[in-house]
Amino acid sequence: MIEILTSPPFNSIQDLGRQGARRFGVSTSGVMDPVALAAGNALLGNVEGAAGIEIQTFPFRLRFRTETAFALTGADHDSTLAGSAMRPWWCMQAKAGDVLAIAAPRRGARVYATFGGGIDVPRVLGSRSTHLRGGFGGLEGRTLQAGDVVPIGTLPRSGAGRSDFGVAPPDVAIAAAAPAPDRVLRIRVMRAGEYDLFSKVMQATFWSTRWKISAQSDRGGYRLTGGKLTLDAPVEMRSHGVVAGVVQVPPGGEPIIQMSDANTAGGYPKLAAVIQADLWRLGQATPGSSIAFQEVSYQDAVAAMAPINDYLAKLRATAALYRAL
């Protein structure tokens, strides 16, 4: 068990998402940075999709009620366990009564706390993720607050052993994920269904603009500012299915990137779609930061997942060796 001591709004229990329910109008939800969650679970020997806490407002504090192995991944941040500094992308063993305090990140938007055995709240439609709009999943379908007591599952036998080691984060270990010197996050996308509805001028504007993530952004979607994308003539469209990563353009002309809590359907033109390999990087982008889009082919989009899969596979293997020492 863990007890939440301090939690500003919007921190929630999430796993890799609620798959297969979009046909019922239920969005996927799940973490904004699936690589960070998978890495935290790998450090602990958990199953890959075990639920953790997505922390996006700070400071965040919790108390361990029992001895528990845990890991912190995601954004670069400062934290302390029982008053002693702890590194990010590291796993530790906490004693009963220890307090974990996590400060606002220096870089990145979201920190992930994973626990040996995962968070043991009931599955709803196959997932423990909090669906805030629907008010289900997670802990009573809501964000965490002070006084909440959260149950932790049983650590698999494969996860038993040493738990004082860490790993290089993916933006260090994977060359393609390294931050650009100009601090512009370059996101790879493919063209989407209504790309050709936009004029050549508007298409060029989309590719050449340094877009800024607006403060009017959340887990549902990132609204971008910095330019206007308009159609030569109004187009009426039926609503169609959308998924995380789809870039839609509402009548106002400012693009919106659908994110983890995206609606299951929408009627705005789809201009592009962020590739799966870059969704985790986008999930760590903060309001006010700048992004630019880079077009890639379907083949390149598929190949881009290989370094991420290799990174996680090596992490699992290395962590298993450390735990066995």
**At 181, which CATH number?**
2.40.100.10
101 & 248 share domain: no
> Which of the two residues, 54 and 235, has the higher pLDDT score?
54
17 & 154 share domain: yes
DSSP string, 67-95: -EEEEEEEEE--EEETTEEE-SSEEEEEP
220 & 160 share domain: no
111 & 135 share domain: yes
299 & 216 share domain: yes
Q: Is residue 40 part of a domain?
A: yes
State the Cα–Cα distance between residues 83 and 88, nearest whole angstrom.
15
Q: According to the model, what pLDDT value does residue 3 have? A: 98
Given a cut of 90, whether residue 267 has pLDDT beyond it is no
Last residue of a domain, one of 147, 167, 187: 167
220 & 158 share domain: no
Given a cut of 70, whether residue 158 has pLDDT beyond it is no
Nearest to 308 by CA among 189, 175, 187, 191: 175
How would residue 163 be classed by pLDDT, with cut points 50, 70 and 90?
confident
How would residue 23 be classed by pLDDT, with cut points 50, 70 and 90?
confident
157 & 9 share domain: yes
Total Cβ atoms within 10 A of residue 235: 12
Residue with structure tokens 């340094």?
210
222 & 300 share domain: yes
138 & 206 share domain: no
Sheet holding 12-14: strands in order across? 12-14, 52-55, 107-115, 68-76, 90-94, 165-166
Q: Is residue 220 part of a domain?
A: yes
Given a cut of 70, whether residue 243 has pLDDT beyond it is yes
Q: What is the pLDDT of residues 182-192, one digit of tens each?
A: 889 999 999 99
Among positive and negative, which fits the CA dihedral 258, 264, 270, 275? positive
Q: Is residue 14 part of a domain?
A: yes
What is the total count of domains within the chain? 2
How would residue 244 be classed by pLDDT, with cut points 50, 70 and 90?
very high
Q: According to the model, what pLDDT value does residue 160 have? A: 66
Mean pLDDT confidence for 135-158: 92
Helices assigned H by DSSP within the chain: 34-44, 170-173, 200-208, 276-283, 298-303, 305-324
81 & 120 share domain: yes
Q: What is the pLDDT of residues 198-226, one digit of tens each?
A: 999 999 999 999 999 999 999 999 999 99
Burial of residue 115 (CB within 10 Å: 0-12, 13-18, 19+) is buried
125 & 90 share domain: yes
144 & 188 share domain: no
Q: What percent of the chain has pLDDT over 90?
A: 86
How would residue 24 be classed by pLDDT, with cut points 50, 70 and 90?
confident
State the Cα–Cα distance between residues 82 and 203, nearest whole angstrom.
53
Q: According to the model, what pLDDT value does residue 187 have? A: 97
Among positive and negative, which fits the CA dihedral 127, 128, 133, 136? positive
Given a cut of 80, whether residue 103 has pLDDT beyond it is yes
Mean pLDDT confidence for 32-57: 96
Find the domain containing 215 and state its range: 177-304
Nearest to 90 by CA among 72, 107, 108: 72
Last residue of a domain, one of 115, 132, 167: 167
Q: What percent of the chain has pLDDT over 70?
A: 99
Cβ partners under 8 Å of residue 144, min gap 6: 4, 7, 11, 12, 13, 53, 150
Tokens of 267: 């009627």
Q: According to the model, what pLDDT value does residue 268 have? A: 93
